[in-house]
A and B are shown apart, each in its own frame.
Chain A
Amino acid sequence: MPEKIDEKFNIAHRFFTTSAKYPENLALLCGSMTKSYAELWRDASQLAAYLQPRLKKQRVGILASRSIMAYVGILGAAVSGATYVPLNLKWPEERLIALMNELELDALIVDQNGVKLLSDSVRAHAPTVIITSDDAIGVKNSIRTSQLPDDFLKEPVKRDPSELGYIIFTSGSTGMPKGVMVSCASLACYINESDKWTKLRGDDKIAEAHDITFDLSVHNMFSAWRQGAALFLMSQLDMMAPHSFIRKHEISVWMSVPTIVNNMRHAKRLYHGLLPSLRLSIFCGEPLSIKTVEAWADAAPNSVIENIYGPTECTVVCTRQRLTKPPIVTQNRGILAIGQPYDNFEIAICGEDGAPLPDGKTGEIALASDQLSIGYFNAQKQTEKAFRRIDDKIWYYTGDLGYRDENGILHHIGRADNQVKMKGNRIELEEVESHLRRVCQNELATVVAWPIIDSVPQGLVGFTTNKDMPEATIQRILRKSLPDYMVPSQMVFKKEMPRNNNDKIDRQALLRELDVLSKVDQTTGVRSA
């Protein structure tokens, strides 16, 4: 159970106590702007005072990211007693509208970039209470932060442990993303457990490389707020040269998906001793190749490196493996193991029937813990399918394949279904397919992740059997309903789809074809696919 300090169960409670303890500490840096803990508390408690009487469903949308406003919004929503719901700035209009309809938000917090998404049709479905940052262009009938009345909440509103702290969306197989509902208690469990090994200090400088729609951001902000550490928000531009950002700000804690390091490595940016300020580096969200992690270790010689694993449904992460000499490698994969479970987790490797398998056997990873999320928002069926009650416990079936070795160390080897992770974005291929089928008006449309380099998928390739619509047109129409990262970068037209034994389209055969075609390309120089 969470410590005494979290008894009020408001996820902003620890920020509140930290800001009283260390008011002068730097809380946030974004470009040339900074906020101390006292300033951030002031802004959040003022926003909360405005929000509190306007709450009905206790849900506040955050249409903002990588900005001071995003964090004021998250804190303000939490302090007011609401669940915060990050809305992805990369979502197309159609999706934003669909999700706003479903979420019934009480209010929307919007920054400079979020405002640009508030078209007339989005506004028609958005909540009537809209609070924008001062640097945003004007929105009719909205209020700017500088216009908020001079009222402040004295402390975060008390919440029940089972109430929701946040809802974060992940890719879903029905064509719409699934909203993972995390309770205040689950988040408190997570932060307590993580604090045991991150051992953050008030003088830590933590780089935030990801959007608030990705739950690595949950780890960074709530861990920082517990100790009075500073979050340094990276802009999209800073992401072009993360090493420069780390050096410029003397960042001490880094957390990201491995792809960012792969990019730096392939661009030959990493060299010995490049990042001396780092004391802790955390990787998550994708397989971490040994080549990648060793290049990072060489560049950041003063840093401990941890590989952590967990689906959003378990509340951020649940296993951890430190980089050791020699590293603990997953057999035949060239990747670092995912390690040992958190103390508050039971982990089982299950066969196709859902029953546990002995050590060494590969099966689906299932998790049981107080830290598990509650399930999917407005999706009872999907929740029951993934969260199964066995005896008196709920087990979450992750859809990830793995095994436990003879030393009790867990290894992750891929997805049981067709869910892939690309550049930190979780994509269910079936979701992309459902849209591709609609656009092509053809059931014989499928999507594979290809090529796979260092165990990480690099892109999506779509297949269809009708050639009457050009690639660019398909992509243009898909972009109306899917974020860019889910639109196949290449379309292949086939007379006939290969089928497997169950008469389903054989993705493996398609992948093999792509491999063969790319080899032909290399030898003849002819682009065939």
Chain B
Amino acid sequence: MSVSKIAKLVSSMLTARGHSQELSKDDAIFTSGLLDSLAATELMMALENDFGINLADADFDISKLDTIGDLEALVSAQLAAVKSHSRRF
């Protein structure tokens, strides 16, 4: 699992919905209306299932997922956590 994969996933979702413009890392993708709630659910499931990120905390601040930059930060934090965990054992 790599950090670039999440950006690819978002861009494939955008293409599937007929958006072709390039996004910068801090463009809002959900609050701007580029992607809808269905896409949001899809993305959230991918974060949990493919990237192993636990979003189950009922007070997780969802606004931290609105840009590709946010998502990459989240994924790389997760990768770092997994790495340090595996080093310990």
Contact = CB atoms under 8 A, between A and B. Distances in A.
Interface of A: 31, 65-66, 89-90, 112-113, 116, 235-241, 243-245, 247-248, 263, 267-269, 274, 423, 476, 479, 484-485
Interface stretch (B2-10, B32-40, B72-80, B81-89): B32-40
Interface of B: 17-18, 30-33, 35-38, 40-41, 43-45, 48, 55-56, 58-63, 65-66
B59 A248 contact: yes
Contacts of B43: 240
Contact of A240 (B17, B37, B56, B58): B37
17 contacts: A89-B33, A116-B33, A236-B31, A236-B36, A237-B31, A237-B65, A237-B66, A240-B37, A240-B44, A240-B65, A243-B58, A244-B58, A244-B61, A263-B41, A269-B56, A484-B18, A484-B38
A236 B18 contact: no
A113 B33 contact: yes
A423 B42 CA distance: 14
Given A267-B44, A267-B45, A479-B18, A241 B35 contact: no
Given A237-B65, A484-B17, A244 B56 contact: no
A238 B59 contact: no
A65 to B, nearest CB: 8
Contacts of B48: 267
Contacts of A112: 32
Given A112-B32, A113-B32, A238 B62 contact: yes
Contact of B36 (A31, A244, A479, A484): A484
B31 to A, nearest CB: 4
Contact of B40 (A31, A236, A243, A423): A236
Contacts of B36: 90, 236, 484
A170 B13 CA distance: 26
Contacts of B58: 243-244, 247, 269, 274
Sorted from nearest, which 3 A-B pairs have the closest CB atoms?
A239-B37, A113-B33, A237-B30
A390 B62 CA distance: 53
A66 to B, nearest CB: 8
B60 A244 contact: yes
Most buried by B among A65, A89, A237: A237
Contacts of A269: 56, 58
Contacts of A245: 62
